[in-house]
Structure 1
């Protein structure tokens, strides 16, 4: 093993071709980093009269639950430690029920719940769609003839509201917006319609919308990332802090285990690349390269750099949230963010950072049962919508397929071929079938939700209807929604790829940290519950961008600790 691979993750993980080559891309895109003469000088205290920062950096860490933040907070020494010294809202909420990647990202920079963004799930069904594949991906253009939910044409068409970048462009067309992410849906849902550059990771490096050519800097970064993906990676040494997490957990019936992984992979294994700190390092390096090439934060207006870090989600899905893999990922994320902020510091740019997550997550049931949740279990295959629909159709003498759904919980759609009487009978039968199952907490119909108002209460006291209503859009949501009981993992078998997931209405999937930092901003911790929809109005106030608050679900969060307020 090369000596560099023996370094603990917390020291330096991404000393790979991707990081080195992206640094080279920086060098050719400009003469070098602009180091302000007063970069090391103490910052003046931020007050209500302080001018707007020149750069807004918004970071989403996919599946970074409030539980993970709390568990590893004392171990952070890099970028996450810096953010934890700023303004901390440890009780942040993705308040809605559909705690998936696309809905969550749609709330962060729009200030709206999925009920208004229209992004109700990663995948939903439109049974009137003019194509055989009725399942729609949240970030696709289904009108493209070749597009399907599995091989789709990426698009922002399904997002119904404006993002922060869109509002900034209206206020000042010179403002630049760049969005870089591990996943397309993260880059798209946060980047908005007016982004100057919007890219995400693919096996060949970086890509954007169909027909959109990458900038020279993005091409260089993508080439470097592709080279890193193609190179095999030997195992990484286990940091001492992660020793207590290094326990093998059996999964499946073929002798497989998780909990002791070291991010080793074969060359070209994109899935394992994404489920490692390399992926976040690549996004951060590409973001730094694009920032410098475009001189974000160096002009006479405020610019926006958006970074979607997806590795934590892939690690959580592949190995769970409590093994050595997640421990190593948390330490590496902290270090990589620290390196990224150090690069920004060297420019002397006045920048503000907001970091949150698209949703939380929980551990795999096999490990949960050994810890505090002995009743944790995997979902019964009988709850699959195909199986439930078939049983109901046979009983009622109806044609199949009767029921459409993207898994054993969430939105369920009845066939459009039913007569009103048939639909009434099928709905009654299926609702009763799901409610009778011991793993089901509740079943709520779309008709019930349509009559229910969106809650204005604090998200920590929301009831089940409040959570479901915030995800309900009458044009896109199902005829009824199935809610599983706590700690029921909606993956029927382990050892076949993903072993853990999220998406439930329960707080372990809803709670996320919300962190703000700016040089000179007095740090404090606000324990009251807030929501990710509050991020947009908060940042808009900081940079002086006017909003139509009648179109926003969130509210401005005060980032000043004294008698003054940052909310204008």
Structure 2
């Protein structure tokens, strides 16, 4: 008996000497998540314009947050609609279905817009700006999953100048989604969301008529022109021509220009577009009382004017540099508001972009770097001629858009020709087009799993039901002929490489140069918030953020 007692005593002493295992502490969820997408923000802008930023805006984010420097879009095409959808669904167009801003619908044989919905009507205006909804987005968003996880007690709101920049991030069942109406300078919504009038706080915001006030001012430089050393001259031949102004140079007298340039439609093309959205962000947080209890709320905020300005003037323009100097000040104002109303440490911010942009071809050519435009109509004419010579006269191509050919399946079937034979022929012929580096058929996308390089990016953007029959990869620096100075859409680094910064509740400061894909953001947020992953998620959690 003594033997057994002494043995038990020894075991008791042994276990009492073991280190006490602390119960795993539950990470405190933020009261508010603010997702910031800056449209067409290239990765190099934060470095190029750093000397022009104050300490309370972008620099506060970078210094106090965690910066994933090597974040990329892992699919083609890199446009605004797919970009916003991918950030918030945690997957790519292959799954969420937003394959471009506009695409050819093979069933109804016409082009459709990613957020268009003619079954609904505008709320807050008599215009058609509100004929929109997320019905074409096929998978759930992190904002959807947050709502589901709290029995829709979380307040989820999307805001942007662009409708798609608000609608897609807000998800399928948000508290609200609001965007700019170019016909009157107010923010509107859609009857899709189940309400027949705007909330009272937004009605009060619209009554301030801020757009009208801004358009009666001038867009002026933030500092003397000679200090814009990161930009080209203020008058470059490829820059957007503003009606009523001889040269595209500062200052821009908006009061004098508005009548000839779309009136309220002019605002998004100026730095004031970011100013009004920052004002709306603060009004939204106040009006919806976001971040005021222990149930996490989510504000999805997308700054669009940087994209309008970038397209019009190019990535090395004085206009773009000045827009970011002013946007830095708006970010600082948002920080101040969050600190005062929600409390530092109670909110989580992530900031990224929906795509980058190309250098202006004329600028690269002037510096002996290969780049050019192509003529889409000429592509169609050349390929139609080749198809006619091979298979006989006919309208073999129904549409060409987003560097994809859509073939006439009815004609091919009637002609008793194998579809894959036509696709393969077109692939081989497309390689003769100037500016085309590679070409792939829908058959390639459907039957072969590509794991790297450009073919993989095409496949991640290829949707079986919505994408075309032949997909092109352009040479670096090439894009379609456009009246804009630049654009985006390729799988090259200048379009795919974007910043990703995390800041606030539970985020330690630091940097990482590990490759991250854009679909990792929503998956990481799901782990932070304790929700299910979005139902089509393909990304991976960013371990450094969760450690």
Aligned to 1:219: 203
Given that 2:130 and 2:188 are in contact with CA atoms closer than 8 Å, whether structure 1 keeps it comes out as: no
TM-score by length of 1: 0.80
Given that 1:238 and 1:262 are in contact with CA atoms closer than 8 Å, whether structure 2 keeps it comes out as: no
Deviation at 1:405, TM superposition (A): 1.8
Deviation at 1:410, TM superposition (A): 2.1
Given that 2:240 and 2:312 are in contact with CA atoms closer than 8 Å, whether structure 1 keeps it comes out as: no
Given that 1:175 and 1:303 are in contact with CA atoms closer than 8 Å, whether structure 2 keeps it comes out as: yes
Aligned to 2:140: 162
CA separation of 1:79 and 1:478: change in aligned 2, threshold 3 A: same
CA offsets per residue over residues 87-121 of structure 1, 9 Å max, x none? Answer: 00111111111101111111111111111111111
Deviation at 1:160, TM superposition (A): 0.9
CA offsets per residue over residues 366-417 of structure 1, 9 Å max, x none? Answer: 222234x5322121355443664366346643333623022xx522211132
2:67 is aligned with 1:72: no
Gaps of 5+ in 1: 1-46, 456-461
Given that 1:454 and 1:469 are in contact with CA atoms closer than 8 Å, whether structure 2 keeps it comes out as: yes
Given that 1:385 and 1:403 are in contact with CA atoms closer than 8 Å, whether structure 2 keeps it comes out as: no
Write the distance in 2 (CA, Å) between the matches of 1:452 and 1:363.
Answer: 33
Aligned with 1:398 (options 390, 393, 399): 393
Gaps of 5+ in 2: 1-23, 123-127
2:350 is aligned with 1:354: yes
CA offsets per residue over residues 131-174 of structure 1, 9 Å max, x none? Answer: xx61111112366799xxx9993121111111111111111021
Given that 2:211 and 2:264 are in contact with CA atoms closer than 8 Å, whether structure 1 keeps it comes out as: no
Aligned to 1:59: 36
Given that 1:104 and 1:359 are in contact with CA atoms closer than 8 Å, whether structure 2 keeps it comes out as: yes
Secondary structure in structure 1 of the residue aligned to 2:115: coil
CA separation of 1:209 and 1:389: change in aligned 2, threshold 3 A: farther
Aligned to 1:304: 298
Write the distance in 1 (CA, Å) between the matches of 2:377 and 2:177.
Answer: 41
Number of residues of Structure 1 aligned to a counterpart in Structure 2: 496
Given that 1:58 and 1:305 are in contact with CA atoms closer than 8 Å, whether structure 2 keeps it comes out as: yes
After TM superposition, the structure 1 stretch with the greater mean CA deviation from structure 2, 94-103 or 70-79, is 70-79
Secondary structure in structure 1 of the residue aligned to 2:312: helix
Aligned with 2:411 (options 418, 424, 436): 418
After TM superposition, the structure 1 stretch with the greater mean CA deviation from structure 2, 318-327 or 417-426, is 417-426
Aligned to 1:206: 187
Given that 1:393 and 1:402 are in contact with CA atoms closer than 8 Å, whether structure 2 keeps it comes out as: no
Deviation at 1:547, TM superposition (A): 2.9
- The 5 A counterparts of 1:105-504 are 105-129=84-108, 134-141=110-117, 153-173=131-151, 174-203=153-182, 204=184, 205-210=186-191, 212=195, 213-225=197-209, 227-228=211-212, 231-240=215-224, 241-247=227-233, 248-251=235-238, 260-265=249-254, 266-267=257-258, 269-349=263-343, 350-371=346-367, 374-381=369-376, 383-385=378-380, 388-389=383-384, 392-393=387-388, 396-400=391-395, 402-406=397-401, 409-420=402-413, 421-422=416-417, 423-424=419-420, 426-453=422-449, 455=451, 462-490=452-480, 492-493=481-482, 496=483, 498-504=484-490
CA separation of 1:253 and 1:99: change in aligned 2, threshold 3 A: closer
Aligned to 1:4: none
CA offsets per residue over residues 466-512 of structure 1, 9 Å max, x none? Answer: 1111101101111111111111121x25xx4x221000111110010
Given that 1:99 and 1:358 are in contact with CA atoms closer than 8 Å, whether structure 2 keeps it comes out as: yes
CA offsets per residue over residues 293-323 of structure 1, 9 Å max, x none? Answer: 1111002311001101101111111000101
Given that 1:379 and 1:489 are in contact with CA atoms closer than 8 Å, whether structure 2 keeps it comes out as: yes
Q: Choose 1 or 2 for highest CA Rg.
A: 2
